[in-house]
């Protein structure tokens, strides 16, 4: 047994024999929805000085590649529950303009499935396609699948070729609708109704291609009144037909309660563990040997209750690509964001897909101006670092830590941490957050069975101003910095460091 930490010191041990699981690359996914300026003047802006021949902003593509996103979910979100996919294929001058009731906007359909696949090829991402189970259903899902994936020789696969895409898109990962538990959703359904529809849709899609991976809609949040009962009912229908159940969660600072906001990942971890328990209960009840995994395909910090920060409805009804949900993130937001990434990694045995919502402009790590520049938000940096160094085996981290009191979650550890080991090189990366707003946090990490090694880097995202952020006028105001000399050392198999107050830390060991 390890000795208790000295006063004010956090401590944990790492051992390669004690692992959580392998971090699936899809944990570092994102989300592109036809919402606000995510698509139009975000990733797609013909006429922009950086636009390529297909109208994609190459300055944004470069940032997305730097961000390191993997699976990208499309085209929604709430948008998909009223979407006709046929509107977004074929010659652009023949595509119809439609009302989008989900975000009270006008959709031009100048960007659709073919443009999305071209975008993915250029950023190196994998498609995660959502089907409309709000206003449409089984037949539409089958038709979309045939258009997208069948090699040729049928009406819809030949139509794809006629539209300029001879080769099939090969989309493997599909969402069966979006947030169907939510009363705000177009075509909202009860758990019984959705469970039956999702099951029928999954069976029909698998008749075309039994190798597909399918995601059933879980709850839109742990606070939903139907939470857990929804998952149980849906999976009672669909357990053997799907591979994942979805989770969505957003967090914001409310009423000035920053201490609770910094502990948001407490809710994330509880949410994951409760969904896993519900899935496994249904599996046991059905006497199934199969395990349902988690697709956490919407997560982020989102100031949905702050009208000064995030416009929820367009200032002009039915506008094209209005400015919606364009939160500008602070250092504090980035620390919470990093903590959410840690929560996902700590449950890598069951969370196999995760999508940061969203990718550009809309509650996003990248902001753009029409005709102007693109720049990194504070949240860009934790995601890029986790995607780069968080691939491999997630090691168990059970820290002993000083605690603090929160109004929402009670007593919470100041330290939130995880560690990932690269199996090829043996390198270990520690991701750690200090939730204290005022005090540095000493940290000791015992390395067992990992060799002596050395510290390669200790990167810190923190700032004397916890509300500092990157803006159009100051796009480089916040960036990670190297920990002060002498802060971090590795001697006798023990890592010694001190985490700055209110900080996100990446410590790389060779």
Q: Which residues are designated catalytic?
A: 179, 298
Measured distance CA(84)–CA(174) in Å, rounded: 16
Q: How would you class 491 by CB atoms within 10 Å of its CB: exposed for 0-12, middle for 13-18, buried for 19 or more?
A: exposed
Strands 126-131 and 173-176: parallel
> Count of CB atoms within 10 A of residue 270's CB?
13
Question: Nearest to residue 510, comparing CAs of 442, 422, 383, 398?
Answer: 422
Measured distance CA(61)–CA(81) in Å, rounded: 27
User: In degrees rounded to 5, what are phi and psi of residue 42?
Assistant: -100, -85
Question: Nearest to residue 34, comparing CAs of 130, 139, 175?
Answer: 130
Q: What is the four-CA torsion angle of 36, 40, 44, 50, rounded to 10 degrees?
A: -100
- CA 462 from chain centre, in angstroms, equals 22
How does DSSP classify residue 440? -
User: In degrees rounded to 5, what are phi and psi of residue 488?
Assistant: -125, 130
Is the CB of residue 217 less than 8 Å from the CB of residue 177? yes
Measured distance CA(383)–CA(362) in Å, rounded: 16
> Count of CB atoms within 10 A of residue 108's CB?
18
Measured distance CA(399)–CA(433) in Å, rounded: 12
Measured distance CA(71)–CA(359) in Å, rounded: 11
């Amino acid at each position: 047994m390890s000795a208790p930490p000295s006063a004010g010191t956090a401590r944990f041990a790492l051992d390669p024999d004690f692992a959580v699981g392998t971090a699936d690359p899809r944990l570092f996914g994102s989300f592109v929805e036809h919402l606000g300026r995510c698509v139009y003047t975000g990733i797609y802006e013909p006429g922009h000085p950086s636009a390529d021949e297909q109208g994609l902003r190459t300055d944004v593509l470069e940032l997305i590649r730097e961000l390191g996103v993997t699976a990208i979910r499309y085209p929604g979100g709430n948008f998909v529950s009223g979407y006709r996919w046929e509107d977004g294929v074929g010659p652009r001058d023949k595509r119809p303009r439609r009302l989008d009731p989900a975000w009270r906007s006008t959709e031009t359909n100048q960007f659709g499935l073919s443009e999305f696949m071209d975008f993915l090829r250029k950023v190196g991402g994998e498609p995660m396609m959502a089907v409309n189970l709000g206003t449409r259903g089984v037949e539409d899902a089958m038709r979309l699948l045939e258009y997208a994936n069948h090699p040729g020789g049928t009406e819809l696969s030949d139509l794809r070729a006629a539209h300029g895409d001879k080769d099939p898109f090969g989309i493997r990962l599909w969402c069966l609708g979006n947030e169907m538990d939510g009363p705000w959703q177009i075509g909202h359904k009860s758990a019984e109704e959705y469970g039956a529809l999702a099951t029928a849709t999954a069976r029909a899609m698998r008749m075309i291609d039994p190798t597909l991976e399918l995601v059933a809609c879980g709850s839109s949040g742990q606070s939903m009144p139907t939470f857990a009962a929804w998952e149980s009912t849906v999976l009672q229908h669909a357990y053997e037909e799907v591979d994942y159940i979805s989770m969505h969660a957003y967090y914001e600072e409310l009423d000035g309660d920053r201490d609770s906001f910094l502990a948001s990942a407490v809710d994330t971890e509880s949410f994951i563990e409760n969904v896993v328990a519900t899935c496994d209960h249904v599996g046991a009840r059905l006497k199934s040997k199969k395990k349902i995994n988690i697709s956490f395909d919407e997560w982020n910090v989102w100031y949905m209750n702050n009208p000064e920060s995030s416009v929820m409805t367009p200032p002009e009804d039915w506008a094209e690509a209005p400015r919606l949900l364009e939160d500008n993130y602070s250092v504090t937001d980035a620390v919470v964001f990093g903590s959410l990434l840690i929560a996902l990694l700590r449950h890598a045995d069951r969370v196999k897909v995760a999508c940061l919502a969203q990718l550009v402009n809309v509650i996003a790590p990248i902001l753009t101006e029409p005709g102007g520049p693109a720049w990194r938000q504070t949240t860009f940096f934790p995601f890029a670092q986790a995607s780069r160094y968080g691939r491999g085996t997630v090691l168990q981290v059970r820290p002993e830590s000083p605690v603090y009191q929160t109004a929402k979650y009670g007593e919470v550890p100041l330290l939130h941490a995880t560690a990932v080991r690269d199996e090829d090189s043996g390198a270990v990366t520690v991701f750690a957050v200090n939730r204290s707003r005022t005090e540095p946090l000493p940290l000791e990490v015992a390395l067992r069975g990992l060799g002596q090694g050395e510290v390669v880097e200790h990167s810190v995202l923190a700032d004397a101003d916890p509300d500092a952020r990157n803006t159009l006028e100051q796009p480089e105001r916040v960036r990670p910095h190297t920990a002060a000399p002498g802060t971090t050392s590795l001697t006798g198999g023990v890592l010694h460091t001190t985490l700055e107050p209110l900080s996100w830390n990446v410590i790389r060991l060779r």
